[in-house]
A and B are shown apart, each in its own frame.
Chain A
Amino acid sequence: MEATAFYSFSILAIASALFILFSKNLIYAAFALFMAFLGIAALYVLAGADFLAVTQIMVYVGGILVLLIFGIMLTQKTNRQTVSSTPNRVEVEQSRGIQGFLVGTGVFAFLSYVIISSQFKMTGDIISSRSTIKTIGVELMTSHLLPFEIAAILLLVALIGAAYLALNRNPAS
């Protein structure tokens, strides 16, 4: 049962990623990324990380993906006559495709070799089925307090920086 769910969600995530890779339409690619994020969130649940799965859905699907789709819509081509038949088209050069294929397969072969040749010795107990929220909250407020605060500062800086960068969009000012 669990294996079936794991493999079907893995196939969902990888197929969505491959669809992004081969899609020529950027909006379709963004929605395929949505499916990939959902598949990865399901894999998080299967790995015992329920809080992370909910965070993944809220942050990525609710925030980042909406931002990306806004970005796609705000950066449309101005000459609509030439691209009206194929909107949001992304050009991929032939040589670029070959390079990307070579880099992707090379990295995957290298990572597979590393994973196969390494033999991980896991000493700790496998996580039980109880919720991880309490552990994450206690750890965040005790031993990981400094990274927590730094993340808060980083989010504030990113908010101010993004608002400042995106506010004055006319080149005259």
Chain B
Amino acid sequence: MNTIPLEHYLFVAAALFSIGLAIAVTKRHFIGILLGIELMLNAVNLNLIAFSRHDPEKLSGQLFALFVIVVAAAEVTVALAIILRVYGFFKTVDPDEVSELKK
């Protein structure tokens, strides 16, 4: 049981984090950016849980990951509400076209 070395979990999490960051940078759609952010949060959770394997008494990493999941759920609901309002006002979902502050 649990013969996978810790570094392999960390490499998978690093790859997921990088891909999520690239998604958040390249997508020109608000919800595409949210997808990338969700992927990054999951990569961080994977790191926390991988380290928490070595802490079976207190499981601090798993508790931290649980709170990260809660905060991610709250973040996504508020972000989607804001996206719906921005879409209702600007009629676009492209972050580059929402440049009201620059005018």
Chain A residues packing against B (C-beta within 8 Å): 2-3, 6, 10, 13-14, 17-18, 20-21, 26, 29-30, 33, 36-37, 40, 43-44, 46-49, 51-52, 55-56, 59-60, 63-64, 67-68, 70-72, 74-75, 78, 90-93, 96-97, 99-101, 103-105, 107-108, 111-112, 115-116, 120, 122-129, 132, 135-136, 139-140, 143-144, 147, 151, 154-155, 157-159, 161-163, 165-166, 169-171
Contact = CB atoms under 8 A, between A and B. Distances in A.
B89 A171 contact: yes
B69 A56 contact: yes
B49 A90 contact: no
A124 B56 contact: yes
Given A52-B62, A122-B54, A154-B71, A67 B91 contact: no
Contact of B17 (A6, A107, A123): A107
Which 10 pairs from chain A and chain B are nearest by CB? A104-B22, A100-B26, A158-B74, A165-B81, A108-B18, A111-B14, A100-B25, A17-B19, A162-B77, A166-B81
Given A96-B25, A107-B21, A115 B10 contact: yes
B59 interface: yes
Nearest to B9: A47
B82 interface: yes
Contacts of A10: 8, 12
A51 B74 contact: no
Nearest to A3: B4
Interface string B55-98: 11111001101110111111111101111110111010110000
Contacts of B87: 74-75
A60 B65 CA distance: 13
B69 A6 contact: no
Contact of B35 (A20, A74, A120, A151): A20
A21 B78 contact: no
21 contacts: A10-B12, A36-B16, A44-B45, A47-B52, A47-B53, A52-B69, A55-B69, A59-B72, A64-B38, A64-B76, A70-B80, A105-B18, A107-B17, A108-B18, A123-B54, A124-B56, A139-B58, A140-B66, A155-B73, A165-B78, A169-B85
